[in-house]
Structure formats: structure tokens, C-alpha cells
């Protein structure tokens, strides 16, 4: 993410650094990653990920898919 807005484009709330939970349904299993660093709207809870964080989550998801993991739950 190159530009960090100060206001949420959905509700106008303040955007702050925080964490979120990422989930991915792989059809053969589920990946849950807690405490993912994110920018979070203090009003509506909408969240945005930095590009590097999204790339890490993609790698985690691809590994779980390749291993045919039924359930993976981790914390960043």
C-alpha cells in the first residue's frame, strides 16, 4: 500500500494501525491467521493490508493448499 488514507472511504471514520484476522477457505481445508497487521477503520472495522503482508498471507495459503492442510491456525 503506497498511500495510506486518513479517512475510511466507506464511512469516513479514522484509519488506524491495528490487527485483523485472515481466513481462507481452500475447499479442502481452512487457513486462519490471527493478529495480522492491518490498517483498520475505527468506526466500521473495514481493514486494509500492506502489500508485503498480503504476500505473506498468499505464501501461507499456497503452502497449506500444497500440503492439503485441513485446518491451519497461526498468529503473525
CATH of domain 15-75: 3.10.20
Query: DSSP label at 13?
Result: P
Q: How confident is the model at residue 5 (pLDDT cuts 50, 70, 90)?
A: confident
With contact defined as beta carbons under 8 Å apart, do 70 and 29 qualify?
yes
User: Where is pLDDT greater, at 62 or 4?
Assistant: 62
pLDDT in tens, 24-34: 999 999 999 99
Give pLDDT, residue 6: 85
Residue 51, φ and ψ in degrees, nearest 5: -60, -45
Give pLDDT, residue 2: 52
Phi-psi sector, 59: left (phi>0), alpha (psi -120 to 50), beta: alpha
Residue 33, φ and ψ in degrees, nearest 5: -120, 120
Grid cell digits, residue 14 = 479514522
Domain boundaries, the chain: 15-75
Amino acid at each position: 500500500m503506497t498511500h495510506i488514507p486518513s479517512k475510511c472511504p466507506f464511512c469516513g471514520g479514522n484509519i488506524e494501525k491495528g490487527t485483523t484476522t485472515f481466513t481462507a477457505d481452500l475447499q479442502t481445508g481452512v487457513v486462519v491467521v490471527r493478529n495480522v497487521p492491518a490498517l483498520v477503520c475505527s468506526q466500521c472495522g473495514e481493514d486494509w493490508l500492506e502489500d508485503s503482508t498480503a504476500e505473506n498471507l498468499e505464501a501461507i495459503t499456497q503452502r497449506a493448499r500444497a500440503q492439503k492442510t485441513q485446518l491451519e491456525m497461526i498468529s503473525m
